[in-house]
Chains A and B, each alone.
Chain A
C-alpha cells in the first residue's frame, strides 16, 4: 500500500517536472534575424534573413532550457539585389556550400522567471564558435487575435565575422564587428 502511494507520488512529481517544461516553436515571419555592420566607416548597413525555424524549450521552475535555431543562409536580404548576390557569394556567406546557419544552446540564464541570456554555439561557414545572446523584454501572453499562448523577446549579440573565416573587405570596406538583432515570437506547442 505504501509502495503504491510512493509510486503515485513519484509519478505526480515526474508529471509536475514535465509540466514545467514548455516547448515553443518560433514564428518565422516575426523572428527574422537582422544584422548591422559598418561600411567604409561611413554608415551602418543592415540586412536580415527572412527564413528561420527553431524551437525553444523553457523550464522556468528548474531555470533550464534549450534553443535550437536554423537559419536559411540563402534567405539573406539587403536593400539591393546586387548586394544580395554579393553577400550570398563565397566572399561572404557562401550559401551554396553552407546553406544553413545554426545556433544551439543548452545554457539559458534567468533573472527570476525571465530569460536574460542564451549562451550557445553559432555554426556559420562550417565553423562553430561560442556566441552569447543578450535577451531583453522576454515575456509571454496570449496573442490578442488568435488567442494562442506565446512568448516574445529581443535578442542581441556582437560577433566578429572574421572568427568564422568571413574576411572579405576587412578591415575597412566592411567592418569586422557585426551586431545581430533578433526579434523573437514563438508559439507554445
Chain B
C-alpha cells in the first residue's frame, strides 16, 4: 500500500512538471485590416501537414507490408521506416519555420 502510494505520488509530481514553461513567451502580431499572414500561415501549415500525412501513410503502409512478407527483416525495415518518416516530418517543419519567420517578422 505504501509502495503504491509512493508510485502514485511520484507519477503525479512528474505530471505536474511541464518544463518549457520556464522559457520565454512569443510576441503577438497586431494588424490593422485583414491579417493575410495569419490566413496564409493557417492554409500553408494545413496543406503541408495534409500532404505529409499522405506521404507518411504510404511509408508506414509499405513498411507494414514488408514486415508482414518477411518478418526476419523487421529490424532493417523499422530503421528505414523511421528514417523515411523523419525526412517527411522535417519538410513540414521547414514550413513551420517559414511561418514563424513571417509571423514574428
A, B assembled together? no
Instruction: List residues of chain A with CB under 8 Å of any chain B CB.
Output: none
